[in-house]
Amino acid sequence: MSQILFIDNLSFKYHEKTVLKDISFSTDPGEFVSIIGPNGCGKTTLIKIISKINKPDKGNIYINGENIQTLSNKQLARHIAVVMQSSEPVSMSVEEYVLLGRLPFFKKYQFFENARDIALAHNYMALTGILKLAHAPINKISGGERQLAAIARALTQEPLLLILDEPTSHLDITHQIQILELISSLKKELSLSVLIVLHDLNLAAEYSDRLVLLNGKNGKIYKTGTCDQVLSEKSIQEVYNARVLIRKNPLSKKPCVFLINQNALDKKENPVL
């Protein structure tokens, strides 16, 4: 099986309310898959189910061919690394924080990180450009740097699948692009499978190989495929209840979503509407 992640007919209810229903999709090595959808459609829940924090009511999840329910948390953490949306403030150094990524690999009576652990941590700190901050306290660096540190920590786990939950929220466009460029280059270099929750449809269109559009109304997948297949004015209208225009980005030829301010426009002057 060449698929890294395979989600098979997954359903999840929270307090009797259906959050996710009949979700099936898979990711390949070196593939960048984005999950998009309106607020509260279960994107973060889906991530928590994949990382075994929540248990699905129905369906199975396989990582590298193994059902995650048969793996211990520690075994799972050697396959999947997760960068969560908000991390709590802690007063440790960036280096100590990144080294936590080696915890799943500690042997039973191992007390110190070995040379390889430290080399890996330094390698990924260098790759994400935060090696110079190694001794800075993690709660004193900027939001963008903290996100880079979280990615470095996740990479130090040497995962097959890297999951990120809105890694670009709260960041300015410089850092948004920096982080997505980094992830794109990493997936090629490390042939990493990347599953990412993104709010910004244009960023998702620019960087993803494939999109999974969740429909909050029934918890099902509305559509999955390349960005040209998924992002259409009709699908956005149906899933988000929002009217948008979609044009091609002149440089990348990817679809680009334009928002419409309904009040400010004169319908006569704008025949497209």
Partner 1 sequence: MKPNRIKRWSVILIILIALVTLVSLLALCTGSADILLKDIPHILFYGKGTSDYSILLDIRLPRIILGLSIGGALSLAGVLLQGMFKNPLVEPYTLGISGGASLGVCINIVFNFYGKIGIIAYPLSGFSGASLVIFLVYYLNNNTKDIKSNRMLLTGVMISYVASSLVMLLMAVSKTDDLQNIVLWIMGSLDEPNTILIKMALFGSLAGLAGSYFFCFDLNALLLGEDEAANLGVNTTRTKKFLFIIASFLTGLSVSVAGIIMFAGLIVPHFMRMIAGPDHRILLISSFLAGAAFLVLCDVIARVIISPLELPVGVITGIIGGVIFIWVLSRKQVTL
**Which CB atom, from 164 or from 239, has the smaller least distance to partner 1?**
164
Total residues contacting partner 1 by CB under 8 A comes to 36
- Cβ(204)–Cβ(228) below 8 Å: no
Q: Is 37 in the site for partner 1 (CB under 8 A)?
A: no
> What is the per-residue burial (b if ≥16 Cβ within 10 Å, else e) of 111-129?
eebeeebbebbbebbebbe
Q: Is 166 in the site for partner 1 (CB under 8 A)?
A: no
The minimum distance between CB 55 and partner 1, in angstroms, equals: 12
The minimum distance between CB 108 and partner 1, in angstroms, equals: 10
List the one residue from 2, 16, 17, 88 that touches partner 1 (CB under 8 A): 88
Q: Is 167 in the site for partner 1 (CB under 8 A)?
A: no
Rounded to 10 degrees, what is the CA torsion of 5, 118, 90, 52? 20
- Cβ(43)–Cβ(51) below 8 Å: no
The minimum distance between CB 113 and partner 1, in angstroms, equals: 7
Binding span for partner 1 by CB under 8 A among 95-103, 201-209, 214-222, 226-234: 95-103
Q: How far apart are CA 155 and CA 163, in angstroms?
A: 11
Q: Is 82 in the site for partner 1 (CB under 8 A)?
A: yes
List the one residue from 66, 96, 200, 228 that touches partner 1 (CB under 8 A): 96
Q: Is 68 in the site for partner 1 (CB under 8 A)?
A: no
Binding span for partner 1 by CB under 8 A among 20-28, 78-86, 204-212, 227-235: 78-86
Distance set, CA 221 to CA 35, 42, 224 (Å): 10, 11, 7
The minimum distance between CB 23 and partner 1, in angstroms, equals: 20
Q: Is 202 in the site for partner 1 (CB under 8 A)?
A: no
Non-local (6+) Cβ contacts of 35 within 8 A are 43, 46, 47, 195, 196, 197, 198, 211, 212, 214
Binding span for partner 1 by CB under 8 A among 79-87, 199-207, 215-223, 239-247: 79-87
**Which CB atom, from 104 or from 219, has the smaller least distance to partner 1?**
104
DSSP annotation string for 134-201: TTSBGGGS-HHHHHHHHHHHHHHT--SEEEEESTTTT--HHHHHHHHHHHHHHHHHTT-EEEEE-S-H
Q: How many CB atoms lie within 10 A of CB 24?
A: 13
Q: Is 252 in the site for partner 1 (CB under 8 A)?
A: no
**Which CB atom, from 15 or from 253, has the smaller least distance to partner 1?**
15
The minimum distance between CB 59 and partner 1, in angstroms, equals: 20
Partners of residue 61 on adjacent β-strands: 7
**Which CB atom, from 84 or from 179, has the smaller least distance to partner 1?**
84
Non-local (6+) Cβ contacts of 203 within 8 A are 168, 176, 180
Residues that bind partner 1 (CB under 8 A): 48, 51-53, 72-78, 80-82, 84, 87-92, 95-96, 100-101, 103-104, 106, 111-113, 115, 118, 134, 139, 157
